[in-house]
Structure 1
Amino acid sequence: MEEAIFRFEELLDENAPYFPTIDSVILEEKKTGKWSKKEILGHLVDSAIHNLVRFTEINYVEKPYRHRPYNQIDLVNLNQYQIMDIHDLTELWLSINKQIVRLMKSVDEKALDYKIILSDESVIDLRYLMTDYVDHLEHHIRQLRS
């Protein structure tokens, strides 16, 4: 878990100052059927919100925890990330993720083994879900930097 947390903090530290420096034309450019870079960052906000709830709820709800998917496309559209100021969007993304880092640092070993049932009925644990969250974040940050 320590490696994932270290990588997570590096991603936040390196990219929070970078996102607002991307030219607005590049940030807002849309290709058919694809999100703009702003919308990708907005998707990362939605992902952070949902995962913060998951990472928190698993500690006090009935076990095993049932993972609830969310409609990513509708959320990006409803939250209007495309027209949001990049500084505000970056701050929102950073703030929620800093809270996730705090939570990840405080979770105990026993909680990392809590079982999670996915919508396809496969089973993972909290350790996997947290690590996968960092991998997901890293994947989309590569898209934002390309």
Structure 2
Amino acid sequence: MFQHDYEQIERMYQLFATCPDPNKREREGGWTIKQIVGHLVDSASNNHQRFLRYQSQGHFVFPGYDQNVCVSRAHYDSMEFQSLLVLWYHYNRMLLHIIAHFPADDLAASMLQIGERPAVPLQDLIHDYFAHMDKHAQQVKRIIAA
């Protein structure tokens, strides 16, 4: 199940690592590639808490977060890109390790609610996490190609 996710992390790392200009953005007012990677670190951080604090076969509610505020407060544009990228990479490798050790019974039976959104099984949250990363990988590809 998770081999694909390891491969996705490796592909995304290569995409980001070969980016010629991490300060480039898709459109005026949009995030730079560096800010996108920073946002993905924020996402990893939030999901790290969710993945560790869920209630086994129960229901747990987590707060949502304002992604634009987080990116703004973190000042990712002033960070060194390689350091940010390495942080993102290793954080996701750790999350994959955590995910690989979830009890199988918890994946479908543990319900997590983020903010006001409907509760979803842990397995759906994991799937959504990687789909979210893929969405941003496609965005970075468009920025690089422009």
Q: Same fold (TM over 0.5)?
A: yes
C-alpha deviations, 1:23-45, integer Å up to 9, x for none?
12xx2124323111111111001
Gapped runs of 5+ residues in structure 1? none
With structure 2 as the length reference, what TM-score do the two structures score?
0.87
Report the counterpart of residue 9 of structure 1 in structure 2.
6
**Paired residue for 1:122, among 118, 121, 124?**
118
Matched, 1:93 2:110: no
Matched, 1:75 2:70: yes
Report the counterpart of residue 60 of structure 2 in structure 1.
65
Equivalents in 1 of 2:114, 2:64: separation in Å? 8
C-alpha deviations, 1:51-109, integer Å up to 9, x for none?
0110000147x941002101111111111111211110110101110111001111011
Q: Secondary structure at the match of 1:28?
A: coil
RMSD of aligned residue pairs (Cα, Å): 1.8
Alignment length, in residue pairs? 140
Q: Secondary structure at the match of 1:51?
A: helix
With structure 1 as the length reference, what TM-score do the two structures score?
0.87
4+ runs deviating over 4 angstroms: none
Report the counterpart of residue 44 of structure 2 in structure 1.
48
What is the percent sequence identity of the aligned residues?
24
Tell me if the contact between 1:41 and 1:93 (Cα under 8 Å) persists in the aligned partners.
Answer: yes
Tell me if the contact between 1:69 and 1:119 (Cα under 8 Å) persists in the aligned partners.
Answer: yes
Equivalents in 2 of 1:141, 1:66: separation in Å? 28
